[in-house]
Amino acid sequence: MSIQQVGQQNIQVVHNRLLNTLGVIRSQWLIRGKPSSLKLDWRSEPEGEVEATGFVAMTEGGWPIPNEASVAGCRELIDELLGAGYSQQIVTRFNSSSGVCRYIGESGGSISYQTGSGRVIFLTR
């Protein structure tokens, strides 16, 4: 397996984890009555202790959005959704005209998250 294939698999794992996390968040948003922000408290499986607690702002359609429309906001969002440190593993971009956060892996594969619609697009190189 080449270095590029390993890097590609890494961004694919991030993509799958993001999709699963967004599904859980949207379900929680619906269950909790569609609040404008949602408390996230991710739990550690073996110990059952809270690892981190944070809040994310939500769209009217039920998708998490960055607290600010910027690269820093997109970095903060991915760390809230997937855990601290994810933003350090990838390059983050933000397109202000489309409201898209783009996360680029080492091999050039990327994930685009459309903040208005919750749509996630995975692109390989």
Mean predicted confidence (pLDDT) in 16-43 = 90
The rounded Cα 12 to chain-centroid distance in angstroms is: 13
Q: What is the pLDDT of residue 117?
A: 92
d(C-alpha 58, C-alpha 56), whole Å = 6
Q: Which two tokens stand for residue 69?
A: 């429309």
Mean pLDDT (the chain) is: 85
What does pTM read for this prediction?
A: 0.82
d(C-alpha 82, C-alpha 113), whole Å = 14
d(C-alpha 30, C-alpha 81), whole Å = 17
Q: What is the pLDDT of residue 93?
A: 96
Tell me the per-residue pLDDT of 6-25, one tens digit each, with 9 for 90 and over.
Answer: 344 588 888 999 999 999 99
More confident residue, 30 or 52: 30
Of 83, 112, 121, 110, give the one whose Cα is nearest residue 8.
110
